[in-house]
Amino acid sequence: MTLIEGDPSPTIFQYTVGGFPHPHIFVWLRDGATFTAEGGVTINNNYSLVVQSQLRSDSGNYTLRVESSAGNATISLLLKIVCK
């Protein structure tokens, strides 16, 4: 996904997570390292990545890893923020 730097509108990437048993561990990674909210990117309710301020420094490969006793799954998003 490519976004324009400085766009004032937040962009939300929301994922649907299900399974039985329901996943109980949610880990966000950025470029392979554990990610917590920083810069213009925040995490909302474990399932959503919110890009608030579209800063080029927030570009990267974001991965959501979910786990339950039955196994795990991942989904990735390559976020690229470019100049106007």
Bridge partners of 74, per DSSP, are: 65
Per the prediction, the chain carries an average pLDDT of: 87
User: What pLDDT is recorded for position 65?
Assistant: 92
User: Which contiguous run of DSSP H or E holds residue 70?
Assistant: none
Regarding pTM above 0.95, the answer is no
Do 27 and 36 touch, CB atoms closer than 8 A?
no
Q: Which two tokens stand for residue 18?
A: 């299900």
Low-confidence ranges of the chain (pLDDT < 70): none
Do 83 and 5 touch, CB atoms closer than 8 A?
yes
Bridge partners of 39, per DSSP, are: none
